Structure 1
Amino acid sequence: MTAEQMSTSTSKTTATDTGVALSSSRGRWLHHWNAEDTGQWNSVGRAIAKRNLAWSIACEFLGFVVWQLWSIVVVFLPSAGFTFSSGELFWLISIPSLVGATLRIPYTFIVAKFGGRNWTIVSALLLLIPTLGMAWCLGNPETPFGTMLVVAALAGLGGGNFASSMANITYFYPAREKGWALGLNAAGGNLGAAVAQFMVPVAVTLLAAGTLGLPLAGLMWVPLILIAAWGAWKYMDNLSSAKSDIAGSLASLREPHLWILALLYIGTFGSFIGFSAVFPKLIMDSFGPGVGLKLGPAIISLAFLGALIGSLARPYGGKLADRWGGARVTVACFGVLALAAMIQVLTLPLGSFPLFLILFLVLFAAAGAGNGSTYRMIPMVFALRAKASTDASGAGHMSATRKGSAALGIISAIGAYGGFVVPQVLNASRQSTGGYEGAFIGFVAAYLVLMALTWAVYLRRSSAASLGNV
C-alpha cells in the first residue's frame, strides 16, 4: 500500500519496519504517528510529511499575501478618488499586523484541537473574507474610513496563519529534520509579502486595460485561495497525536528570557514585517509626484525587493548562527540595522532614490538575517536554562525543554507586533515634523539598545545566560 492510499483509507493500518502500525480513519485522521520512529518515517512517514509541508507552504504563502495587501493598495487610493489623510493610510497599513500578531496566539493551539488539515482548510477559506471585502470597498471611493479599517483589520487573518502552519508542521517532522522543514515553511510564507507587492501594481494598472482597477488587488487571489483550500482538503492529514502544551506555554510566560528574546524578535522580525508594510508608502511620500521622481507601476513594484531580500536572508541568518553563534550574528545584525538607519537619516535630504533603495535593502537583509539568528537563539537559551536547572531526576530538563518549545510560538506572536509599531512610529514622526528623519533616529537608538542588550545577556562572559560559541 502506498503512502497516498494509506492516508486516504478508512480504518486501515500500515505496519512499519519496527512493527508500529500507522492507521487512518474518516476525515484523513492519522493515528499512532511517530516521526521519531525511523521505520515508520522511512517507509511512509517522509512522503506524508512532504505532502503536508507542500500544501502548508501554499496556504501560508497566501496568508502572507493577504496580510500585506493593504501595504501596496494604500499607495493607489488617492489616484482612485479616496480622500483619506496620511495618518488614516498608516492605520490601514498597520492594523493588519496588529490583528495578525494577536491571532497568532490562539492559532498556535487551534491545530491540536481541530486537526492540522481541518484548520488549514478553514484558515485558507477565511482569507476569502478580507480579499472579497477589499474588492467591494475599493470599488467605491465613497467607502467610509471606518469600513475600510474593519476590512483591513480582517487581513490580519492571514498573519495568524503563520502560527498554525508552523505548529502543524512541527508535529510532522523528526527533530533531526524539523529545522529544515520549519525554515522552508517560514520562508515560503514570508515570500508572500514580496509577491503581493510585485503583482498588485501590475494587476491594478497594466492588467486593468488602461484603468485603475483597484478591486483586482483582492479578486486576483480568490482562485488561488480556492485551489489552496482544495489542495489542503485533498492531500493534507490530521494527526491524532498532536497535542497542545498550554501548561508549558503558561510556564514559559514566567521565564524572564522569553520576554528578552521577544524584545529582540520585535527588533528583527518586527522590523522586517513593519518595513515591508510601509515601504511602498515611504517611496511614494519621499519620491512621489512633486518630489522629483515620476512614479509608475514599475517603480512602485520595486518595493517588493525589500520583502524578497528579507525573506531570502532569513535562512542565511540561521546558517551563520550555526557557524558563529546566534547571539554574535544577532549583535552584528542590530549593528548593521543601526548603521543603515543612521545613513538613511543623513542622506534623506539628498533626495537620491537609488541610495534610498540600496540602504533599505541593507535594512531588509539585516532584519531578515536577524530573524534567523534570533529564532535560532531561542532553543539554545532554553537548553542552557535546562542544563542549569536539571536535578538528579531530570525533571528540570523536561520542564525547561517544554517551556522552550512553547516559547517559540509566543515569541513569534509578540515579534509580529513590530508590524504595527514601525508604521505608527513613522506616522507619528510625519505628523509631528513633516518628515521621517525623527523616526529613523528613534530606530537607530532602539537598535543600539537591542544590540547592547544581546551582548550583555547572551555574549558577556560573566553573564549567567552567556551562549559562548553556540
Structure 2
Amino acid sequence: MTSTPEAATGAPTAPAVKKHHISNWNAEDVSAWESGGKDVARRNLVWSVVAEHVGFSVWSIWSVMVLFMPMATYNIDAAGKFFLVAMPTLIGAFLRIPYTFATAKFGGRNWTIFSALVLLIPVLLTMYFMLNPASYTTYMIVAAFAGLGGGNFASSMTNINAFYPQREKGWALGLNAGGGNIGVPVIQLIGLLVIATIGNTAPEIVCAVYLVLIGVAAVGAALFMDNLDNQKTNARSMIDVLKFSDSWWIAFLYIGTFGSFIGYSFAFGQILQINFLAGLTDGGPVTPALQAQASLHAAQIAFIGPLLGSLSRPVGGKFADKIGGGKITLYTFVAMIFSAGILVATSMTDDGTAGAATGSMMVSYVVGFILLFVLSGLGNGSVYKMIPAIFVVKSTELVGMTPDEQAAWSRRMSGALIGIAGAIGALGGVGINLVLRASYSGAAKSATMAFWVFLGFYVLCAVVTWAVYLRKPRSAVAPNSTASDPNAASVSV
C-alpha cells in the first residue's frame, strides 16, 4: 500500500499495484485494507490456494500410485509401499526450509509460477515408470521427486502471512492451508474414479489430469498474483527464530497435527487395502481380481479422511481466532488421544491374521481414522494461528523499535517459523509411515504396535501444550495499536 495525498487527510488509501508489484504494503492499516487492500489479498489468496492444492496432490501422488501396483507386476510388498510413500514426505519436509524464504527472495508471484511448473518433473517421471515397471530403487528415486510438491506449502503460507492483518491471520492461513490440503483427497478421488471405471491398470490417466492442472496453476499465478516489495524472510531470520524456545515447541506440536494429517493421508489407503484384501482372501490365495477389488474398496473410503481434515483446518483457525490457539490445540490433542484409543482397542480385538477384520472392526478402523483426520485438521489451523500471535506478543517486549518496526519483525519471525514448523511437522508424516512399516513387518503383521505409539505421542503433545501455553497464558496488544485505539487487536496465544 502506498502513501498518497489522500492518506494525509485521513481518507482511505487503496493499495497501488504496478506490473504485479506492490510497495509499502501494510495490512494492519484498517482504512487502506477496507478501501482495496483486502481485495488484493483475497485475489492472491485464491491463486495461492490453487497452486498449493496442486502441490499437495503431486506430493501425495504415490499414496494413489501404490493402489495401482499389484504384487505380481511390481514386486513390492506392503512394507515396501509404506517406505515408498514416506520418501516424498521426507524430501518435501526438507524442501520447506529453502521454500520458506524463496518468496522474499524472488517474489510471491514469481516463485508460485516456478514452483508450479517444476511439478511437471515428478508427474512425467511417475507416468513413465508406472507404464514401464522398473526396480524398487528406481521407484524410490521417482517418489523422491514428488517431494517437490511438499515445499509449496511453506512458500505459500509465508506469502499469505505477509498479505493479511493479525486479526484475520487465523482464518486466512487456515483457508490457504486447508485449500492446499484438499489436494490430497482430490487426487485420491481421481484415482478412485479411474479404478472404478477402468480398473487398477491405468495410472497414467491420473498423471495426465495433473499435467493440465499444473498448467492452470502456473498461468493463474502469472495473471493474478503479485509480489510484495517489502516482504522480508531470509536465511538469517530462520537462524534467529531458532533462538526462541517457542519455535521448538511449536514445531513439536505441529508434528502431532500436520504430521498426523499427512502421514495418515499417505498411509490410510494402504491400511484399508491390506485389511480389505485379508478379508477377501480369508487366508486363501491372492489373485489379481481380488487385489483390484481391494484397491477399489480402499479408494472408495481413503479420500474421505483427508477431505474432512482439509475442511476442518480453516475451522480450527477460526476457533483459534475467537478462543485462542493454545486452548483449541489442547482440546484437539485430548480428543486425538481418545480417537487413537479406538484404533488400539479395535486392533487388539483383531485375530491377528494378516490384519484381517470383520465388518464391524472395519467400521471401527474407519471411524477412528476419520476422527483423527478431522482433529488433526483443527489442530493444524490452531497451531499455525499461534505462530503470528506468539511473535506479536514478543515484539511488544522489544526496546528501541517503533510500532512499524515491531510489526515487520513479527512478520519476519512468523514467516521463518512457518517454514521451520512446516518442515519439522512434515517429518511426523515420515515417522507415521515408518512406524506402520515396522509394525506390519513384525510377527503379528498388524498395526497394533503403531497405534499404541501414536496414542502415547498425543498424550505427550497435550501435556506440552498445557505446560507451555496454558499454564501461564500470554497476551498483548498488537503492534501499530494502542490500548485506547478502538481498532486495537488484542492477541492471545
The answer to whether TM tops 0.5 is: yes
State the match for 1:8 in structure 2: none
| Alpha-carbon separation, structure 2, partners of 1:198 and 1:124 | 21
Q: Residue 377 of structure 1: CA displacement? A: 2.6
The answer to whether structure 1 residue 456 and structure 2 residue 447 are counterparts is: no
State the match for 2:388 in structure 1: 379
The answer to whether structure 1 residue 441 and structure 2 residue 430 are counterparts is: no
Aligned equivalent of 2:163, options 172, 175, 179 = 172
Q: Is the 8 A contact 1:29 1:239 kept in 2?
A: yes
Which structure has the higher relative contact order (CA within 8 Å, separation 6+)?
A: 2
State the match for 1:407 in structure 2: 417
State the match for 1:313 in structure 2: 312
Aligned equivalent of 1:52, options 31, 38, 44 = 44
| Alpha-carbon separation, structure 2, partners of 1:263 and 1:113 | 27
Amino acid in structure 2 at the alignment position of 1:343: I
Q: Secondary structure at the match of 2:7?
A: coil
| Alpha-carbon separation, structure 2, partners of 1:80 and 1:218 | 22
State the match for 2:481 in structure 1: none
| Alpha-carbon separation, structure 1, partners of 2:62 and 2:30 | 45
Q: Residue 397 of structure 1: CA displacement? A: 6.5
Q: Is the 8 A contact 2:101 2:416 kept in 1?
A: no
Q: Is the 8 A contact 1:16 1:43 kept in 2?
A: no
- TM-score by length of structure 1 reads 0.87
Q: Residue 21 of structure 1: CA displacement? A: 9.0
Q: Is the 8 A contact 2:66 2:81 kept in 1?
A: yes
Q: Is the 8 A contact 1:204 1:216 kept in 2?
A: no
Q: Residue 333 of structure 1: CA displacement? A: 1.7
Larger deviation, residues 164-173 vs 352-361: 164-173
Q: Residue 460 of structure 1: CA displacement? A: 2.8
Amino acid in structure 1 at the alignment position of 2:451: F
Q: Is the 8 A contact 2:171 2:314 kept in 1?
A: no
Larger deviation, residues 103-112 vs 252-261: 252-261
Q: Is the 8 A contact 2:100 2:416 kept in 1?
A: no
Q: Is the 8 A contact 2:313 2:380 kept in 1?
A: yes
Q: Is the 8 A contact 2:195 2:296 kept in 1?
A: no
State the match for 1:273 in structure 2: 262
Q: Is the 8 A contact 1:21 1:32 kept in 2?
A: no
State the Cα deviation string for residues 16-40 of structure 1 (Å, max 9, x = none).
84277966666x3334444444555
The answer to whether structure 1 residue 242 and structure 2 residue 223 are counterparts is: no
Aligned-pair Cα RMSD in Å:
3.0
State the match for 1:302 in structure 2: 301
| Alpha-carbon separation, structure 1, partners of 2:28 and 2:324 | 27
Q: Is the 8 A contact 2:251 2:422 kept in 1?
A: yes
Amino acid in structure 2 at the alignment position of 1:430: Y
State the Cα deviation string for residues 320-371 of structure 1 (Å, max 9, x = none).
3344433232222222222221221221244221121111111112211121
Q: Is the 8 A contact 1:128 1:225 kept in 2?
A: yes
Question: Which runs of 5 or more structure 2 residues have no equivalent in the other structure?
Answer: 284-289, 351-356, 476-490
The answer to whether structure 1 residue 195 and structure 2 residue 186 are counterparts is: yes
| Alpha-carbon separation, structure 2, partners of 1:281 and 1:271 | 15
State the Cα deviation string for residues 405-432 of structure 1 (Å, max 9, x = none).
5323321221111111110111011112
Aligned equivalent of 1:153, options 144, 151, 159 = 144
| Alpha-carbon separation, structure 2, partners of 1:176 and 1:16 | 27
Q: Secondary structure at the match of 1:221?
A: helix
Q: Residue 226 of structure 1: CA displacement? A: 0.9
- TM-score by length of structure 2 reads 0.83
Aligned equivalent of 2:220, options 204, 224, 231 = 231
Question: Cα distance 1:380–1:85, how it changes in 2: closer, same or farther (>3 A)?
Answer: same
State the Cα deviation string for residues 189-247 of structure 1 (Å, max 9, x = none).
011111111111212451x4x67212222122111111221111222222322222443
What is the number of equivalent residue pairs in this alignment?
A: 451
| Alpha-carbon separation, structure 1, partners of 2:464 and 2:36 | 46
Question: Cα distance 1:404–1:49, how it changes in 2: closer, same or farther (>3 A)?
Answer: closer
Larger deviation, residues 166-175 vs 84-93: 166-175
The answer to whether structure 1 residue 139 and structure 2 residue 148 are counterparts is: no
Q: Is the 8 A contact 2:154 2:418 kept in 1?
A: no
| Alpha-carbon separation, structure 2, partners of 1:432 and 1:127 | 36
Identity of aligned residues (%): 42
State the match for 1:424 in structure 2: 434
